[in-house]
Amino acid sequence: MTTTRNRGPKSNRKRAPGGRKNRTIWHFGPGHADGETSMKDLLGGKGANLAEMCRIGLPVPGGFTIATSVCSRFAKSGHALPADVVADVRKAIRRLEKETGKGFGDPKRPLLVSVRSGAALSMPGMMDTVLNLGLNDDAMEGLAAQTGNRRFALDARRRFIQMFANVVEGLDLSRFERVLEQAQENAGVETDSELDAAALEDVVARYLKLFKRLAGRPFPDDPEEQLLRSICAVFGSWQGARAVEYRRIHKIEGLLGTAVNVQTMVFGNLGPTSGTGVCFTRDPSTGENVFYGEYLMNAQGEDVVAGIRTPQDLAGLVEVQPKAYRQLERVRRLLEKHYRDMQDIEFTIEDGTLYILQTRTGKRTARSAVRTAVEMAKQRLITRDEAVARVQPEDLDRLLHPQFDPQAERNVIARGLPASPGAVCGQVVFTADEAKVKAASGDPVILVRNETSPEDVGGMHAAEGILTATGGMTSHAAVVARGMGKCCVAGAGEVRIDESDGFFRVGDTVVWKDDVISLDGTSGEVMVGSVTTMPADPGPEFATLLSWADTACRKGGRGLRVRANADAPSDAATARAFGAVGIGLCRTEHMFFGEKRIIAMREMILADTLGARRKALRKLLPFQRRDFAGILKAMDGLPVTIRLLDPPLHEFLPHEEDGIAAVADALDVDEQEIRERSRRLEEMNPMLGHRGCRLGITYPEIYEMQVRAIYEAAAQNKKKGLRPRPEVMIPLVGSVKEYTLLRDRLKRVARDVLKKKEVTLPVIFGTMIEIPRAALRAAEIGAEAEFFSFGTNDLTQLTFGYSRDDVGSFLPGYVEQKVLDADPFATLDQSGVGELVQMAAERGRSARPKLKVGICGEHGGDPASIGFCHEVGLDYVSCSPFRVPIARLAAAHAVLGSVERDV
C-alpha cells in the first residue's frame, strides 16, 4: 500500500555506529560519516545532511557535530558546556587534526574551522555562525606562508575578529564596519575585496584595539578558548530573540534545541580562482525546473547572504569556473534525485576545487511548492500521494488571493486577527452606505467599523476589505468576509474609531476618512498608505494537484467530502468552481437585506397581528423563492443545506436615527413605535435569547414562508429539467421536542407545495448541533433527524462560555501564555468541543446508523480541525468558498495520514 511518508534518500544504509542516547559527538568527512539524514532530531538538519553527503561521496570538508541534546544541557547548566562535552570536543579536534594533517593554532599548518548552528527544522539566518576560527597572529602568518597569499590571511583574520566580536562577545558590529569603511575610503576603493595587504594589516590592528576597548580585555589568542566560547554562543543563540520569534511565527515546538557543527574551513576568498555561492535545484519562487542561484568570486559565504556585495547570477559561473560549474550541475542532479525534493545548496570553490558545505530542503513560495510537487510526480521522483502531502493546505490561501509584494515598504500602524486572507488598499469609509456610494463611483474603499452587523452586508460587498476594532475569527465581519472572499482584519484593538468626526486613531497616528490604508488579511497588519500588490496566480498545476487530492481522499472508502457555506448564487457558483460537492450551510438571514426586502422584513417585525405578519411575509416569499432557485441551480445535482432564520429579530431593525426615520416614512408608522419595538426586542444576551428554532416556535409563519419558498423553488427548477436537492436545517435545537414540533409542521408545508406543483422530491430535514445539550441528547435527536450539522462557532462559544465577539481582549494572551494551545474559534478544541462532536456523532448514529454528519462552522476550513473531523468519522466539512481548495487538500492529508498509520 502506498503511503505519504517522505521516505527520504534512496541508498543502501548501514546503521550509524555507536549508541545514540548518550553520545555527544558525531564525526563526518570525505568517505565516512557516523550519522545519516534520518538523524535530524539528534544531529539537526545541517549535521544530518553533512553526514549523508559524505556517505554518498560528495566533496564535503570534514568536521563533527555536537548533538542537539547538548543544547538543553547547556541551558540547564547556566549557559555553560558540561565538562564531559568539553572533553569530547577536545578529542574531536585532535581527531580532525589527524585527518587533515593540520594543527589547531599550528604556526606552520593551522587548522581553521567554522562553527555553525543546525536545528532539526530549518531556521535560516536565525542563529549564529563563526567562521575562520583558530586564527591568532602566529596562525595567520602560517596561513600566509602556507598559501603564499598574505592578503588572504589578513582578510581571514579581520573577518574572524569582526564575527567573534559580534557573535561571541556581543559587541556592536557597526563599530567594526565603520573601521572597514574608513579603510576603503582611505584606499579609494568601493569593496573590501579591493583592499591590499597593507590596508588589511591596518584594519586588523585597529580591530584588535577596538575589541580590547569595547570588551575590556584582549582578543583571545588560544584557539581552544575561541572554539569553546563560539560553541557556547551558537548554543545560546537558540534562545536568541530572532530564533524564538521565528519559532513562534512558524509554530515550531518540541525540538531539543540546535546542534553545533564544527567543520574544516575552505576558502572562497583565497583569490580570483576562488568563490562561494548559494543555489537551488529549482526556482524557489516559481518552481521552474532550472538551476537557480548566485555566487561571488573571491568572497566568503557571509558576503552572499548578508548582502555585503552584490552577487552574480549562477549562470555566469560557467564562464568564470567552467569545471567547477559542471561539477556543481552534477551535484544538483544527484542531490535532488537522492533527497527527492528541491534542495538549497551552499558551496565554496577554493582555488578551482569545489566543496559542498550544506544541503537542505529548499524554502519555496506556495506557487513553487505546487509546481515542484506536480512536476516531480510527473518525473516519477515522487508518487502522486507524496506530491499531495508535500503541499501544505494553508499555503493555498496565498495562491487564491492577491498578496503584497514582499519587497514593498510597509508602514504598519496596527495588527489584528487575520480573519480573511488577501491584500487590499483603499480609501477609509466608516459606514456601509459610504462604501456603496464611493465604490459605485469606482473608488476602492476599506470599510472600518467597530464591528459589522447584518445591516452592513451591502457595504461589505462593495468594499475591497474590512477592518474592525473588535470581534474575533468567527465574528460577523470575519464569517461574512470569508464567504465573500473579501480581505478582513478583525479585532484590531489598537484602533479607536471616531465615526462622527470621521477618523480613527492608533496611538499618535490619525487616519481620516478618504485616507488610503492597506490591509494584509494573511498577517493581520494594518498599514498607512498604498502597498504594491501582486495578483493571485495559482498556475495550471493547481487543478492537477487538487484532482490528485480528491483521488487520495477516496482511499479507504471514507474520505471527507467538502461542501461550501454560500448564501447567494454567485457564491455557490464560486464554490462549485473550486470543487465543492454541495452547500453545507446556506444562511437565509443575509437574503433579507436588499433594499425592498429589508422594508418587508421590518414590516413583518413591526406587525402586531398574525394577519399583518403573514401579509409582510407574502412580500418576502418571491425574493426567497428567487434566491433559493438560483442557489439550487448553481449547485444542480448537489445537496444544498438551507438553514432557516437564525438571528434575533432586533438585528433587522435600524438603530440610527436616519434609519429609523426612513423606515417610518416607508411604512407610514410613527418613529416612536419603531424605537419601542426595538427596545422590546433587545435582550441582555441575544446570542442566548430569542433566536433560531425559538423564533420558529413563537412565529411559525416565518419558517413556513421559508420552507414554502424552498420547495416552490425546487419544484420550479425540477420542471425545467434540473435536479434540485434541498435539505432543510433547523437551527439552535436543544431538545428533541423543539425539533419534532417544527419538523412535523414544516414537512406538511413542503409536501403540500410539492403536491400542488405535481412534483416529486425527497423532503429532508435535519438540525444543527450547536448547543451542548443537543450533543448530550444526540441519540434522541438522531432518531428523528436525517442529518446533523455541527455549528462549531456557537458550540465553541457555549462550551467555553466565551463571547466570540469579545474574546479579543484576552484570548491572544491566553494563547501566548499557553493557557490555550490555539484560538478555539479558529482551530477546533479537540479535547473539549471535539469530545462533544465525537460523542454526538456516535450517539446520533447509534439511533440512526446512516445518519449523515458534517460540520458547517468556520472550523470546516481549518486544516487541523479537518483532520479531527476525519478521525471521528464525519461525512463532510463545509467552509467558505475560497477555502474549499484548502479543505480538499487538508481532507486528503487526513486520509493519507490515516492510511500511513494503518500500514
Say how many residues make up the chain. Answer: 903
Cα(786)–Cα(845) distance, rounded to whole angstroms? 10
CA distance from start to end of the chain: 7
Cα(687)–Cα(725) distance, rounded to whole angstroms? 30
Q: How many CB atoms lie within 10 A of CB 38?
A: 15
Cα(537)–Cα(399) distance, rounded to whole angstroms? 6
Q: Are 545 and 888 in contact (CB under 8 A)?
A: no
Q: Tell me how many helices (H) and strands (E) the chain has.
A: 34, 32
Q: How many CB atoms lie within 10 A of CB 124?
A: 10
Nearest 5 degrees, angle CA 72-CA 77-CA 83?
100
Cell numbers for 712: 416552490
856 is catalytic: yes
Cα(192)–Cα(180) distance, rounded to whole angstroms? 7
Cα(441)–Cα(447) distance, rounded to whole angstroms? 16
Closest listed residue to residue 392, CA positions, set 8, 901, 892: 892
Q: In what order do the strands lie in the sheet with 496-498?
A: 496-498, 503-506, 509-512
Cα(192)–Cα(199) distance, rounded to whole angstroms? 10
488 is catalytic: no
Torsional class of 284: left (φ above 0), alpha (ψ -120 to 50), beta (otherwise): alpha
Q: For residue 359, give every residue at least 6 positions away whose Cβ sits within 8 Å of its Cβ, in sequence order, or none.
A: 49, 53, 335, 339, 343, 344, 345, 346
Closest listed residue to residue 810, CA positions, set 793, 796, 823, 795: 823
Q: How many CB atoms lie within 10 A of CB 514?
A: 13
Cell numbers for 112: 581553521
Catalytic position from the list 54, 487, 856, 879: 856
Cα(180)–Cα(191) distance, rounded to whole angstroms? 9
Q: Pairing state of beta strands 258-264 and 423-429?
A: unpaired
Spell 683-713 as b/e; 16+ CB within 10 A means b.
eeeeeeeebbbbbbeebbebbbbbbbbbbbb
Catalytic position from the list 461, 476, 650, 893: 476
Catalytic site positions: 476, 856
